[in-house]
Amino acid sequence: MKRMNWLGLGFLAPALLVIALFFLAPVIMTGFFAFTNMSTATGITGGDYMLNKSALRALGDAGLPDATLEKLEDAGYAVDEKGLAALAAQIDQETADEFARLHGGESFATRRDVERALKDLRQNRIRKTRDRKAAAELFKRSVLNERFGTEAEFRAALTAGGIAPRDHDQITAQAYTGWVWTTENVELLFTLPSTWRYAANTAIYVAFTLSFNVGFGLFLAISTFYLPAAQAATFRAIWFLPRILPPVLYVLMWKWFTWDTGFLSTVTGWFGMSPKNWMLDSPTHAWTTIVLINGFVGASMGMILFASAIRAIPASMLHASEVDGANRWQQVRYIILPQLRWPILFTTAYQTLSLLTSFEYILLATDGGPGRATEVWALAAYHTALNNYGGNLQYGLGAAFALVLVIIGILASLFYLRLFNFRQLVGKPLIEG
Partner 1 sequence: MQLDLIGFTKRFDGTPVVSGMDLSVASGEMIALLGPSGCGKSTTLFAICGIHRIDEGRLMFGERDVSGLPSQRRNVGVVFQNYALYPHMSVFDNIAFPLKVQKADKDQIRRRVGEMAELVHIETLLDRRPAQLSGGQQQRVALARALVRNPDVLLLDEPLANLDAKLRLEMRSEIRRIQQETGLTAILVTHDQVEAMSMCDRIALMNNGRIVQIDGPTRMYRDPMDKFVASFLGNPPISFVTPEDLPCFGAPKACAEIGLRPEHVGPQFGTGLTGEVRFVETQGREDLFDIALPSGRMIRSVQPAGSGLRPGQTVDWGYDAAELLCFDRQEVRL
Omega before 370 cis (within 30°)?
yes
| CB of 292 or CB of 335, closer to partner 1 | 335
| Least spacing, CB of residue 186 vs partner 1, in Å | 45
Nearer to partner 1, 165 or 427 (CB): 427
Nearest-approach distance from CB 427 to partner 1, in angstroms? 8
In one-letter notation, the amino acid at residue 137 is E
Q: At what angle do helices 93-103 and 81-90 cross, to 10 degrees?
A: 150
- Say how far residue 18 (Cα) sits from the centre of its chain: 24
Contact (Cβ atoms closer than 8 angstroms) between residue 330 and residue 300: no
> Which residue's CB is nearer to partner 1, number 335 or number 385?
335
How many angstroms separate the CA atoms of 73 and 52, rounded?
Answer: 9
Helix/strand/coil percentages in the chain, nearest 5 = 70, 5, 30
Q: Where are the beta strands (DSSP E) in 313-410?
A: none
Q: Which of 224, 226, 221, 236 is nearest to 339 (CA)?
A: 221
Nearer to partner 1, 10 or 433 (CB): 433
Q: How far is the CB of 327 from partner 1 (least distance, A)?
A: 6
Closer residue to partner 1, CB minimum distance, 66 or 432:
432
- Work out how close the CB of 182 gets to partner 1 at its nearest, in angstroms, rounded to a whole number: 54
Report in angstroms how near the CB of residue 340 gets to partner 1 at its nearest.
10
| DSSP structural state of residue 391 | S
* Count of C-beta atoms within a 10 Å radius of residue 320: 12
Q: Give least dist CB 433 to partner 1, A.
A: 5
CB of 415 to partner 1, least distance (A): 23
DSSP line for 130-193? HHHHHHHHTTB--SBT--BSSHHHHHHHHHHTT--GGGHHHHHHHHB-S--B-SHHHHHHHH-H
Q: Would you say 123 or 316 has its CB closer to partner 1?
A: 316
CB of 131 or CB of 322, closer to partner 1: 322
CB of 417 to partner 1, least distance (A): 23
* Cβ-count burial 34-65 (b if 16+ within 10 Å, e if not): bbbbbbeebeeeeebbbbeeebbeebeeeebe
Q: How far is the CB of 307 from partner 1 (least distance, A)?
A: 19
Rounded distance, CA 239 to CA 243, Å? 8
Phi, psi of 108, rounded to the nearest 5 degrees = -120, 150
Closest CB 424 distance from partner 1, rounded Å: 13
Least distance in Å: CB of 216 to partner 1?
24
Query: Three-state DSSP class for 48?
Result: coil
Would you say 122 or 428 has its CB closer to partner 1?
A: 428
Q: In the complex with partner 1, which residue's Cβ is closer, 170 or 339?
A: 339
Q: Which is nearer to partner 1, 131 or 324 (CB)?
A: 324
Rounded distance between C-alpha atoms, residue 365 and residue 2, angstroms: 55
For 283, what's the count of Cα atoms within 13 Å in the CB-facing half-sphere?
8
Nearest CB to partner 1, comparing residues 179 and 306: 306
Which residues bind to partner 1, rule: CB under 8 A? 314, 316-317, 319-327, 330, 334-335, 338-339, 341, 429-430, 432-433
Question: Within a 10 A sphere around the Cβ of 177, how many other Cβ atoms?
Answer: 17
φ/ψ region of 28 (left if φ > 0, alpha if ψ in -120 to 50, else beta) reads alpha
